[in-house]
Structure 1
Amino acid sequence: MLTVKQRELLQFIDDRLKASGVSPSFDEMREALELKSKSGVHRLISALEERQFIRRLPNRARALEVIKMPENAVSAAAPVIGTIAPALRAQVQMAANDTIEIPLHGRIAAGTPIEALQGTEGFAVPAALLGPGEHYALEVSGDSMVEEGILDGDFALIRKVDVAREGEIVVALIDDEQATLKTFRREGQMVRLDPANRMYEPQRYRPEQVRIQGRLAGLIRRY
């Protein structure tokens, strides 16, 4: 028998996979379930794996597969409103085939920073992938975030914010000229932008050099 939080997480993963084919990130799972840390997500994932509701796909960062659902589980078409966290409730209430068009602002480097983003094409996104707030999309260029499951050619869905919390994956504009997708950290008086690929080194900047342009809200991958 699953706990309430285990059920919530399993439902969230299943709905996200059905909507986009891509597993949610640990930060997205933590936020959706209103957990204080990613360690809580890891414990829930391990419990679901032990009970054979999900499995981790080998050689793919962050990739999960739902093997089965509880007999009384519900999908996004019929959510149990009273038993799930508000952030998760807002997502599962949306039908997976509803789409929203958001701006597509060119390509962003997941490796070395590139020139500031340009372009304002439209990009259709499943509504279930977006929470509250204003969003835009970026095409990922590079491989420095592969260990977070962010691959070259993916489309990153970014929620517009101008502040970042420790450990969030953000779009950072460097010296008002170059933009990059990295994990935000503070290191003493400096801002550190961490890659998720051991082949790359962290990037360090003075706070006045860095402007936060948004944080990662989801991913879309085309095959």
Structure 2
Amino acid sequence: MLTKKQHELLMFIHHYLEDRGVCPSFDEMKEALDLKSKSGIHRLITGLTERGFIRRLPHRARALEVLKLPDAVLPEGLKNRNTKPSTGSPKENVVQAEFGNRSGDNSSADNGIVNLPLYGRIAAGLAIEAVTDPDSFVDVPQSMLDGGKHYCLEVAGDSMINAGIHDGDTVVIRDCNTAENGAIVVALIDNEEVTLKRLHRKGNTVALEAENPEYETRIFGPDRVKVQGKLVGLFRQY
């Protein structure tokens, strides 16, 4: 049984998809349900997922699958048969769409998939500012994670290419403020720049080392660099 807000959101998404062929944004969902926070939309989507009304497609950011609707809105002949059919046209079987702006924690579903925020692009070359407000999420296998909070970033640049990290890859980061020498980390420099590099500490210096001979190792004082996470995995699209 759905709550009133879950029912409202499901029907809003369903009708929006039927009318426009794309999923509403989180801002549109929030406005339609008269909610103050996007995190409320995330909780409603999680609840609909757990109850089998919608599904997030693994390894695809911003993809939803509508599996069924409440019996109360179906024609009489379709009640008690309200599940995803195995035959028919793609439009009859499933409605998929891209959507953005979800916020929440690393909650996992029964299928072992964890929903991680995608915080935007991070430089694996020259340092750029990382986005801190997620505009999309990525479904990641629970087995890839090692406890604690995690998030994802999209790589921009080629300075870590010899470590197998390419431009356009999505890296999975464990949120932490320290890491062992030699680890690949998300480093905040002078509270302004964020970059993905290999960390080396020696005496009173911190070195951020690229994995590409075309880039120089950057040396900083210990107070200029803060670790914001450690690399634990990546995804690549072909």
Could you say which TM-score interval applies, normalised by the shorter chain?
Answer: 0.5 to 0.7
**Who is 1:161 aligned against?**
176
| Aligned-partner Cα distance in 2 for 1:160–1:143 | 23
Q: What count of residue pairs does the alignment treat as equivalent?
A: 131
* CA–CA separation in structure 2 for the residues paired with 1:124 and 1:208: 35
TM-score where L is the length of structure 1 = 0.55
Regions of 4+ moved over 3 Å = none
Is 2:200 aligned against 1:200?
no
Distance 1:177 1:117 in 2: 12
Determine which of 144, 147, 153 is the counterpart of 1:132. 147
Residue number in structure 2 paired with 1:45 = none
Distance 2:188 2:182 in 1: 17
Alignment-derived partner of residue 24 in structure 2: none
Equivalent in the alignment of 2:167: 152
Runs of at least 5 residues in structure 2 that lack an aligned partner in the other structure = 1-57, 60-110
SS, match of residue 124 in structure 1: strand
2:123 aligned partner: 109
Unpaired runs of at least 5, structure 1: 1-18, 21-96
Q: Larger deviation: 190-199 or 122-131?
A: 122-131
Alignment of 1:48-87 (within 5 A): none
Q: Cα deviation per residue 1:136-191 (whole Å; 9 max; x = unaligned)?
A: 00000000001100000000100011012110000000111110000000133110
Q: Relative contact order (C-alpha < 8 Å, sep 6+): which is higher?
A: 1
Residue 229 (structure 2) aligns with: 214
Residue identity over aligned pairs, in percent, reads 47
Which entry has the higher C-alpha Rg, 1 or 2? 2
Amino acid at match of 2:122: I
User: CA-atom RMSD, angstroms?
Assistant: 2.1
Tell me, in whole angstroms, the C-alpha distance in 1 between the residues paired with 2:131 and 2:226. Answer: 13
Aligned pairs (5 A) from 1:175-194: 175-194=190-209
Shift of 1:115: 1.6
TM-score (norm 2): 0.52
Q: Is the 8 A contact 2:187 2:226 kept in 1?
A: yes
How many angstroms does 1:222 deviate by? 1.2
Contact 2:119/2:130 (8 A) holds in 1? no
Partner Cα separation in structure 2 for residue 117 and residue 221 of structure 1: 20
Distance apart, 1:119 and its partner CA = 2.8
Letter in 2 for 1:113: A
Q: Tell me whether 175-184 or 117-126 shows the greater mean CA deviation.
A: 117-126
Amino acid at match of 1:122: F
Q: Secondary structure at the match of 1:119?
A: coil
Asked if 2 retains the 8 angstrom alpha-carbon contact of 1:116 and 1:176, the reply is no
